[in-house]
Every structure is written in structure tokens, then in C-alpha cells.
A and B are shown apart, each in its own frame.
Chain A
């Protein structure tokens, strides 16, 4: 027994497996010259898989003749083909990433340059405080407030629909739903999020508006209410999924602690989990409203094309986005003030949504409860 055991260990020491593991390492320790060459050999092994095994000889044999026939030793400081290749690949990949930075620069640059030639003709004060928007009529008038009010009216209506429903869905999915129910409801909500907005626009105009006219006969064909209800439906999945993520991130020990104090499921959900996830929930609200302000097709189809400074949701309004679409559909010649209004309104829209996105990121970072 003892003999067998010893021989086995001895075999292991000289077996090829032992060679592969110990050989190159000991070489590099002994003499610097063949060391890197040994590394090179392992690279060459790819094309000649037999080479290291076939040699089968003790480590010393490999160090003497093989490297000279395969390749010259690698210098660790001078660039090799492999290193140049690696650097090139890294550089190419970085160029890809640069596209996203260029996009941002492009958006800001284009909006600023074109809007500045607009503001050379129309004073920013008139633009920001004027209450009449009529750039396509004579006399022209460039007060952006009616468009801004239209956008905000639609977004407010959408928020009234989407925030409570989205949050309630998130609470249900995160705290109440059985895994099997979740597995059905979540993909269905994703389908809701994947439907093109032009389809929602069709739905608002041909289904929701007649419904509203049945309730309030004075409802105009194009009205803010129909558009904002449907925009609200569209952003429910966004609120639900982001809020649910935030609530899922709350550790279970918090819930268990609340249950141990005798809280009911509702109290655990609303008084413990909800406050703990508040930063994520608020961030999802802000993002959803920003999405509602930037939404285009639903409002272009269902809300109309009449700049209207009103709070009555049954009237036709025009949002900033719907105005940009209206101008693009018509034949407005390049370089005119009418053409430049696209960029001035676009800049306003971009500034508002960017501000909201930044605020949501700030809320997420600043007010996040961190758990171990």
C-alpha cells in the first residue's frame, strides 16, 4: 500500500500533466531568456496542438531547441503584432462609443445654432411671454405659451391617469401577486408598452373621443382630454415597471420586521415598502411625465392643431410636439422664420425634458435609501 502510494505520487510528478503545470513556471524562475519563449510556445500550441504533448520530454529539452525553431522570443516592452491589434480594436470600439457623445453634441449644437437665428428675429422675451402662437398666419405672432400650456395640460391629464394606476399596479405586482400571476401580467404590460404610438392615436380619435362626446356633448372632435387619457394609458407600463423595480429592491427583512410588529399586508406595503422605495418611485413619476410631454403622435392625431391657451380639456389644443409635426407636414421653405420655429420650439421641449431627466437622476441618487 505504502509503495503503491509513493509510486503514484512519483508518476504524477513526471507525468505530462505535471510538466505542463510546473515546467514553464520553473523555467521562468530559473532563467529569464526561455521564460517568455515558453509563453510564446503556448500561443503556437493553437496551430500545433500536438507540439507540447508530443515532446513529452523533461522540461529542459523543450527549453533548448523548440523555441528557436518556432518564433523569436517576445520582448515584453516593444509592441508586438498582438498588442497593436489589441490597441486597434480598443480604439475602434471607443469610436463606436463616441457616436453617442457626438449625438448629444449634435442635438444641442443644432438646436442652439438654429434657434439662435430664430431669436435674432424674434426676441426671446416675446417668445417666452407671448400668449398668441400664429407663425403661419399674417400678422405673425410668436408667443410659445399656448403650445407650452397645451403640452402641460395633456401631461397633467396623463399623470392623473397613469401615476395612481401605475403605482397601484407596481404595489400589486411587487407585494401581492403570486409568481404565476406576475408571469402573465408583466409580459402583457410590456406588450402595452410596445404598441406604436400612432396606434394609440387612432384609438384615441376613433374610440375614446366618441365615448367622451357621449358623456359631454360639447366635446370637440379634437380635444385635450382624449389625448391625455390615452397618453396616460401609454405611460402606465413605464411607471409600473420602474416603481416595481424600486420596491423589489427593498430588502425582505424590512417587511419581516413590520409583520413582526403586527402590521397587515397593506400597512407593510404602504407604510414600510413604499417609503423605502420612494426615491425610485418619484424618479419613475418624473420620467413618465417627461415622456408624456415629449409624446407626439397621440397628441398630433387626437388633440388637434389649434394653439389654445385654455384649461378646458374638452377643447382642442396644440402641443409643442404637435406643432413641430404640423410644420414638417406642410411646405415650409428652408431658412425662413417659420422653418426656424421648429428649432426654437424643439429647444424648449428638449430643455424641459432634459431638466426633468436630470431631476429624476438627482432624486434617485440623493434620496436613495441604501441597504446592505
Chain B
């Protein structure tokens, strides 16, 4: 009866049990965290093991074929680059303009709030719905057909919300003292934005842009909906040509029952992951260069 009484006197600290429980759950939480990483590792090893033997220069430069051993990804790879280029061309100015307007120009009120909520909602709309929108508006209504132009416009709408949100965060991170100093020197709003805020926010904007674009490169469903073809034995020569992209080529090969096509699908996945990796490296390098200059 030397222990101090707490409450009704039946308080038992049970320290040992609680500590054991604590250790147990600590291990459990760590284990759960490792599940995701372990699957990532297994996935990469699986793709490498299946596909690495099939990646060759011939595979990259050959056109699709009915025979797995002769098939290649040239048309899909070039198609992906076309889509990427046009999507970047459309989405970058639009995304940046919207981010600037929302952060620097928009009056505080219901209109701005509505637009902001709307963008948050759009970011969570399934990508396939954008495909349906693209099919009805770009392919049918504006009569662009199943072209590079229709595809990249669809993907532009898809990645815009992500780009806008990333751009807004970058612009918001610029300290307000910079703006005040600029205004105090007699600069107009646009001079302040274009000469002070944007250069400082650029690294963040570029990173967000490139991450959004790499999402566009990996996107499959919307392009299938607007009717990108699975078998394209030529590369596009202009924005109104039909096209295919790497993910659709992969989907096409995975969907076939023969295991040989699964092997070359894995090889194509390796190329796709390689493209995405290059992209992220460029993002990091670009960001470093900008950070040093400003």
C-alpha cells in the first residue's frame, strides 16, 4: 500500500504490457510501410526479368507486327513524343495563367471560391471521363478525328488541375515582402508578377509541370476512349494524323493470350519507365539550374 492511490484506488499502470504492445505495433506499422515498397521492388524485378532480354535497338525502331519476335515500338514511341509535345504546348501556358490569376489577380469572393473548388473537384474526376469528354467535343463536335491534336487536347484538360494546384503552391511560396518591395518601386501588378514572382516560383512550377506531363505520358484510358488506334504501322507527320502511344501498345500486347506478347509488353514497359525516369531527371536538373541562377 505504498503506491499512491489514483481515482478509485484500482489504477494499474501495466507498464510492461503497454510497452510490449507499443513495440509490437511499432513493428506492425513499419511492416505495413514496407509492404508498398516491397511490392514496388517485386514489380520492377518482375518486369526486368521478363522484358530485359527483349529490349534491343531493333525492338525500339521496328513497327508493330503480327509476330511477336518482329514487333517493335517505334510508332508508339514517336506517337508518345508527339502527344507529349502538344500537351506541354497547350497545358503549360494555360496552367500558369490560371495559377497566376487565382493567386495574384482574383478578387476574393464567390467567383474565385467557386473556381477553386471546381479545380479541386476536376482533379478527382476519373481520367476515363476526360476521355468521354474528348470523344464528344474534340473528336466528334470539332471534327478533329482520332488525331494527335484531339488526344493532346484531352490530356491537357486532364492534367490542368494538377498543374494549376502545383503552380499555385509555388506562387504562394514567394514571400509577400518581394511583392511589396516591387510595388513600392512603382511597378505595376504585371511587372511585379512577371519580373519578381514568376522567376522565384519557376522551379516549383517547372517541377509540377513535369510531374503532370509524366502523368500524361503514362495515361492510357482517355486515349483509348477517343480512339487512338492499337495497330499503327506509321509515325504521325502532323497534328491531324492518327497515332498510338506506348501505354496503348503495351495494353494491346498484354491483352493477347500468347506469352511471347507478354514478354515484349514487359520490354515496352521498360522503355516507358525509362522515358519517365529521364523526365524526372530533367525536372531535377532544370530545377537545380534555376535555383542557382535566382
Chain A residues within 8 Å of B, Cβ to Cβ: 39, 42-43, 82, 85-86, 89-90, 92-97, 99-101, 103-104, 106-107, 110-111, 114, 164-165, 168-169, 171-173, 176-177, 185, 188-189, 191-192, 194-203, 205-207, 233, 236-237, 240, 262, 264-267, 270, 287, 290-291, 293-297, 300-301, 321, 324-325, 328-329, 334, 342-343, 346, 349-350, 353-354, 357-358, 361
Contact = CB atoms under 8 A, between A and B. Distances in A.
27 contacts: A90-B101, A90-B105, A93-B97, A93-B98, A95-B97, A96-B94, A97-B106, A99-B98, A106-B133, A114-B136, A169-B36, A176-B30, A185-B37, A188-B37, A197-B218, A197-B220, A198-B218, A198-B247, A199-B218, A206-B50, A293-B126, A301-B255, A328-B225, A349-B128, A349-B129, A357-B121, A357-B124
Contacts of B13: 262
Given A110-B137, A169-B32, A176-B29, A100 B164 contact: yes
Which of B39, B106, B135 has most chain A Cβ within 10 Å? B39
A111 B128 CA distance: 12
A110 B136 CA distance: 7
Interface string B127-145: 1111111011100100000
B26 A196 contact: no
A203 B43 contact: yes
Given A198-B250, A200-B43, 6 more contacts: A85-B190, A90-B189, A100-B122, A107-B133, A169-B33, A199-B269
Contacts of A194: 211, 214-215, 218, 276, 280
A119 to B, nearest CB: 16
B118 A264 contact: no
Interface string B236-277: 000000000001001100110000001001100100110010
Contact of A172 (B30, B126, B215): B30
B105 A185 contact: no
A206 B262 contact: yes
Contacts of B100: 93
B93 A354 contact: no
Contacts of A42: 186
Contacts of B98: 93, 96-97, 99-100
Given A100-B160, A233-B36, A328-B227, A107 B26 contact: no
A86 B21 CA distance: 64
B43 A201 contact: no
Interface string B193-223: 0000000000000000001001101111100
Interface string B96-109: 11101110011000
A198 B126 contact: no
Contact of B157 (A97, A103, A199): A103
B125 to A, nearest CB: 7
B58 interface: no
Secondary structure type dominating chain A contacts: helix
Given A194-B214, A196-B218, A346 B129 contact: yes
Given A164-B32, A325-B221, A199 B47 contact: yes
Nearest to B29: A172
Contact of A346 (B43, B128, B214): B128
A168 B26 CA distance: 10
B2 interface: no
A297 B221 contact: yes
B265 A202 contact: yes
B69 interface: no
A63 to B, nearest CB: 18
Contact of B124 (A107, A173, A290, A297): A290
A176 B26 contact: yes
A207 B42 contact: yes
A97 B115 contact: yes
Given A86-B188, A164-B32, A196-B220, A202 B160 contact: no
B18 interface: yes
Residue from the set A95, A198, A201, A265 with the largest chain B CB neighbour count within 10 Å: A198
Given A203-B43, A233-B39, A301 B251 contact: yes
The 5 closest A-B pairs by CB, nearest first: A294-B126, A196-B218, A96-B97, A168-B32, A172-B29
Contacts of B97: 92-93, 95-97
B183 interface: no
Given A90-B105, A97-B101, A198-B247, A325 B266 contact: no
A177 B46 CA distance: 29
A110 B133 contact: yes
A328 to B, nearest CB: 5
Contacts of B180: none
Nearest to B226: A328
A238 to B, nearest CB: 10
Nearest to B136: A110
B16 to A, nearest CB: 11
Contact of A99 (B21, B94, B131, B140): B94
A207 B128 contact: no
B32 A354 contact: no
Contacts of B93: 96
A321 B36 CA distance: 25
B252 to A, nearest CB: 9
B284 to A, nearest CB: 11
B230 interface: yes
Contacts of B52: none
B161 A100 contact: yes
A43 B186 contact: yes
A231 B206 CA distance: 29
A361 B220 CA distance: 28
A101 B115 contact: yes
